[in-house]
Homo-oligomer: A and B are copies of this chain.
Amino acid sequence: MHNLKAIIESLLFASDTPLTVDKIKAILEVKDRNAVQDALKSLAEDCDSQERGFFLREVAGGYQLRTRPEYRQWVRRMKQSRPARLSRAAMETLAIIAYKQPVLRTDVEHLRGVDSGGILRTLLEKGIIRVLGRKDLPGRPMVYGTTKRFLEVFDMKDLSDLPTLKDLEELGEAWPNDST
């Protein structure tokens, strides 16, 4: 096979688990075990001699490309500065607050069916929701609503940009031919 080394590199690059020699052989339909092993060896040497940002590591019975430990501080810093994704639970809670505001914690928990105190605190810390006030009920429960930051995160001019359930229904079912 022409350029076996580069092809193996592309596989290792795109794989989320270590690849065994057998697996590589199967994917590329090569019979020659030595050819694959030679290519891996040559790739490992390239990574070292060319001072690349990553190296080839034999791990858990397979091969994997990994960033060089010398650069750990930078990679770590990059990972920390990534925007967070909201968990499913946080997304649900936020959706209830956005669509039902002004809303009580008990309303949120009633709809979700589980305690939501921790998630409310996280959303408050992120500045996506706020306490609009306290209701004159026993325990003076807090009333929640969304913030300007919420509008920024979702890139909306104001809350009237929120799609309604009717909007969603009118679109109909997702197109069946385009499953991911």
Interface residues of A (CB under 8 A from B): 3, 6-15, 17, 19, 23, 26-28, 46, 50-54, 65, 67-68, 71, 74-75, 77-79, 81-82, 84, 86-87, 89-90, 105, 115, 117-122, 124-126, 130-131, 133-134, 140, 142, 155-157, 160-161, 163, 167-168, 170-180
Residue of B nearest to A72 (CB): B10
**In the complex, are the beta carbons of B117 and A170 less than 8 A apart?**
yes
Contacts of A172 in B (CB 8 A): 115, 117-118, 121
Question: Among B68, B84, B118, which residue has its beta carbon within 8 angstroms of that of A175?
Answer: B118
Contacts of A119 in B (CB 8 A): 175, 178
B125-A6 in contact (CB<8A): no
- Taken together as a complex, chains A and B put the C-alpha atoms of A134 and B163 apart, in Å, by 9
CA distance A105 to B167 in the complex (A): 11
A52 to B6, Cβ gap below 8 A? Answer: yes
Query: Copies per complex?
Result: 2
Interface centre among A50, A51, A125, A177, by most B CB within 10 Å?
A177
Which 7 pairs of residues, A with B, have the shortest CB-CB distance? A9-B53, A10-B53, A117-B171, A117-B172, A10-B67, A122-B175, A121-B171
Cβ-defined contact, A78 with B27, below 8 A: yes
Chain B contacts for A13, CB-based, 8 A? 53-54, 65, 67
Contact A11 B53 (CB under 8 A): yes
Q: Are B7 and A87 in contact (CB under 8 A)?
A: no
Whether B7 pairs with A53 at a CB distance below 8 angstroms is: yes
Q: Which of B14, B142, B167, B180 interacts with A167 by CB under 8 Å?
A: B142
Measured between alpha carbons, how far is A176 from B54 in the docked complex, in Å? 33
